[in-house]
Amino acid sequence: MKRYIRHGCEGPQYDPYSYTEYVVNDGGDKVILHLGLVEYIKINKKIAFQVDSNITSKCLIQMFEGVMGISLEEMENEEHEKYVKCKKCGSTNIKDYDGMPGETLYICEKCHNICACDLDRSAIE
């Protein structure tokens, strides 16, 4: 199963909007959650669900996560881990550790260098 995240712009050139697409391709079916100016779930090039008066953005995300069996946060973590590499030794063996409240440190298992960190403000506010 192939999972990845795409980013881009949509809308008119003079007033573009950014979008994020969460894509899951299991070899047969391709499912895309598109979050941007227009929000929808597309299955095999056909829009299956779209935000309207009956379906909210939150509901769309819950449907995608439930059917695909993975949360958007887990997909973002997977995507982040693909590109993390230690700048000191070049190792890709990076593990995440909790630091102070809301802080996540990405530490190289080989040379113990801190490669990156994230701060979740909602955990401390």
Q: What is the pLDDT of residue 125?
A: 67
Residue 86: its pLDDT value, please? 87
Q: What is the pLDDT of residues 45-71, one digit of tens each?
A: 999 999 988 889 999 999 999 989 999
Against a cut of 0.75, is the pTM above it?
no
For the chain, where are the alpha helices, taking DSSP H only? 57-68, 72-83
Q: Residue 113: what pLDDT?
A: 92
Tokens 């769309």, residue?
60
Closest C-alpha to 76, from 37, 104, 107: 104
Domain extents in the chain: 2-71, 84-123
Q: Are the C-beta atoms of 11 and 37 separated by less than 8 Å?
A: yes
Residues of the chain with pLDDT under 70: 125
> What is the pLDDT, as a whole number, of residue 16?
84
Distance CA 2, CA 6 (A): 13
- How crowded is residue 24: how many other Cβ atoms within 10 Å of its Cβ? 19
Length of the chain (residues): 125
Q: What is the pLDDT of residue 112?
A: 94
